[in-house]
Structure 1
Amino acid sequence: MRPAVALLLAASLALSACGAHVEDTAGPATTTVPRCGEQVAYRPPHRAVAYEGGSADKLFALGLTDRVRGYVMPPANPPVTESPWAAEYARVDMLSDDLLNRELVVDAGADLVVAGWRSGFSDERGITPALLDRLGIQSFMHAETCWNYPGFPRRTTPLEGLYEDMTRLGAIFGVPDRAAAVVAGMKRRVAAVEASAPTGGTPPPVFLYDSGTDRPATAANQVPPNDIIRIAGGRNILSDVDGRWTDVGWETVVQRRPEVIMVLDYGDRSAQQKIAFLRSHPALRSVPAVQRNRFFVLDYNEGISGPRNIDGLERFAAYMTDVPR
């Protein structure tokens, strides 16, 4: 076999292993992977733009810093200096502290935008994968956000979506072996948590408090905290709600009697301010988590799709070992 043919065959086999294939075209090779439920052919990116920490962390964890043009980080997000990849953030440009928009990615000369559906991309903001396709700018969507993507929905559990994202990004950027190693490390850590999680009895109900005073914003079953709570041995009190981030009435929280309240740490109010509010809320006086002072703080970037989900899982699992079943 000629060396050139052998090299192409080896590359093709490596990509096939992660659900992608390379097409021989007149221009640069393209790699086809799913974007939600749609098969999309990607050219190798060199000027990627990431929206929020989860997107940037995925790229940095794969060693792709040199191919990241920059990131967009709304002000409610924790400082990037607190990230395990702080040194990588320092090597690329912060393009905006606002929401994602079309003008920004065009001005940046982006050749790939990494974000989620309704978590960066949205019709209301005027930046969607379909619009970027027409502009010749590629887009990648987090699998976790695909459950209601118009025209091409696809459902996956949030952590399985994280594994898929890392694998697909590895295929798109031509680093499938690196991605496989990263995913294998994540899976080993999750398996270790599963092996040590409490069994028997009834899983303690857990309420995630995001924000809100009149009605609390919280996590339904299509976001990473639902998996974090479940794998660590608890039960999200909104696991029966088919959705991502949602809101409920305080009466629902009271009726479902959470034993633990997980507080998402981001925004204008600190986690301790949120906890103080919950402790003082008259309607919550009968809630076991409030009576027993069981509050767990989850970092924002541990709660949105990204490599730090595993950090949050390990920390919450350690906390749950002291919660009776």
Structure 2
Amino acid sequence: MRVRVRVWGGTAALVLGGLLTAGCGGGKGTADESAGKPVSGGYPVSVTDCTGARTTFSAAPKRIVTSNASALELLLRLGAGDRVIGTGFPPGKGTLPRDLDAKARKVEVLSESVIPKEKLLGSGADLYLDTFASMGSMGGGGMGDAPTEEEFQAAGIKHIHLKSTACAAGSEGPVTDLSTVEADITSLGAVTGTSAKAEELVAGMRQKVDAVRKAVRGTAKSARPTYFFFDYDAGTKQPTVTCNRQIANAVITLAGARNVFADCDGDFKQVGWEDVIARNPDWIQLGVRDRGSDAADEKAFDEAERWLKSNAATKGLKAVKEGHFVRVGSERTTIAGVGNADTVEAIARTLHPGKVR
């Protein structure tokens, strides 16, 4: 089984995902900040980001700009897509489910990559939903000049980050579940007044993940197969691996496998092929980004597999010799979102065919 999506933001290292903690001082929007879940619907609603900065909404935003297609997809799934007036890093045609794709086509593309500062500030937005990892600045990592919080305020734009991605690299410990993604969905649902849909999405994710957990719980952790996410599109000369703060670590763990680079603190890291050889994984995921069609995707998966089989440094790996390849695209593995639960299910079906149906 393969999950099809398109690259959302240039490189996965620059686009991660988020936890928004909903809460406020009182009234209908009163929330339990320690749990990160709104107690009841209504406004005002407040959210806090990685730095503890709080943004309060007295009403649902009406003109939203998204930093990339992952944020856009989340709003579309919540039923708030009609309020999105622009996006950066737009989805490729046909890379979203058909109903969402038609709605995404109606959203103005403000930039094929990072939205220029002047265009963003002059967009007329009342909310900018930011999934980029660089908190408070898109300037890091070659992302260009970014508005300051004072400039956002002067333009009348509230600015919030998705914490499950924007905060992931600096988290206190390894990411081993989808709780921050679920909290993001719940909190963004509170902000946009779509809490009922948010609860439905979270329930669907939990149902899939819990079924996999139940199916593999009899397999001791030490007996679970080791797993390497091969980011083919990030370059083959020096592999880029997913570390224990990346959402992929949670996806792999929940699917009943062991990330061979789970001892790497952070989100992504470049290593040498000798490091991969030393860990000799049982399974390798062919992490290629969506090419826009089933045929093009299959061709990319074939290319990644051929490279591993022909390269002197990798052809002797256990997974390569045994043909243990998982064909699931990069985006739904490394970018936080509803699709992470589908990837958990897809990987588990491949690795544990007798247990996960």
TM interval, shorter chain, is 0.7 to 0.9
Farther off after superposition, 300-309 or 107-116: 107-116
Query: In the TM superposition, what is the alpha-carbon distance from 1:90 to its structure 2 partner?
Result: 2.2
- Aligned ranges 1:149-228 → 2 under 5 Å: 157=175, 159-197=178-216, 199-200=219-220, 202-210=223-231, 211-228=234-251
Q: Between Structure 1 and Structure 2, which shows a larger proportion of strand residues?
A: 1
Contact 2:289–2:331 (CA under 8 A) maintained in structure 1: no
Farther off after superposition, 60-69 or 295-304: 295-304
Q: Which residue of 2 aligns with 1:282?
A: 312
User: What SS does the aligned partner of 1:277 have?
Assistant: helix
TM-score, with length taken from structure 2: 0.75
- Given candidates 104, 117, 120, the residue that maps to 1:105 is 120
Q: Which residue of 1 aligns with 2:325?
A: 295
Partners of 1:264 and 1:20 in 2: CA distance: 36
User: What SS does the aligned partner of 2:29 have?
Assistant: helix
Contact 2:169–2:246 (CA under 8 A) maintained in structure 1: no
Query: In the TM superposition, what is the alpha-carbon distance from 1:122 to its structure 2 partner?
Result: 2.3
Contact 2:201–2:338 (CA under 8 A) maintained in structure 1: no
- Given candidates 81, 84, 98, the residue that maps to 1:68 is 84
Partners of 1:216 and 1:128 in 2: CA distance: 33
Which one-letter code corresponds to 2:183 in the other structure? Answer: E
Partners of 2:104 and 2:352 in 1: CA distance: 34
Report the identity percentage.
Answer: 27
Query: In the TM superposition, what is the alpha-carbon distance from 1:271 to its structure 2 partner?
Result: 2.9
Q: Which residue of 2 aligns with 1:5?
A: none
Q: Which residue of 1 aligns with 2:20?
A: none
Contact 1:20–1:33 (CA under 8 A) maintained in structure 2: no
- Given candidates 42, 56, 63, the residue that maps to 1:47 is 63
Query: In the TM superposition, what is the alpha-carbon distance from 1:154 to its structure 2 partner?
Result: 6.8
Q: Which residue of 1 aligns with 2:273?
A: 250
Q: 1:113-146 deviations in whole A, cap 9, x for unaligned?
A: 2232437952332226635345432222222231
Structure 1 portions without partners, runs of 5+: 1-8
- Given candidates 46, 50, 72, the residue that maps to 1:32 is 46
User: What SS does the aligned partner of 1:206 have?
Assistant: strand
Q: Aligned in 2, Cα 1:218/1:104: closer, same or farther, shift over 3 Å? A: farther
CA-based RMSD:
3.1
Q: Aligned in 2, Cα 1:261/1:188: closer, same or farther, shift over 3 Å? A: same
Structure number with higher relative contact order (C-alpha < 8 Å, ≥ 6 residues apart) = 2
Query: In the TM superposition, what is the alpha-carbon distance from 1:238 to its structure 2 partner?
Result: 0.9
Partners of 2:193 and 2:316 in 1: CA distance: 54
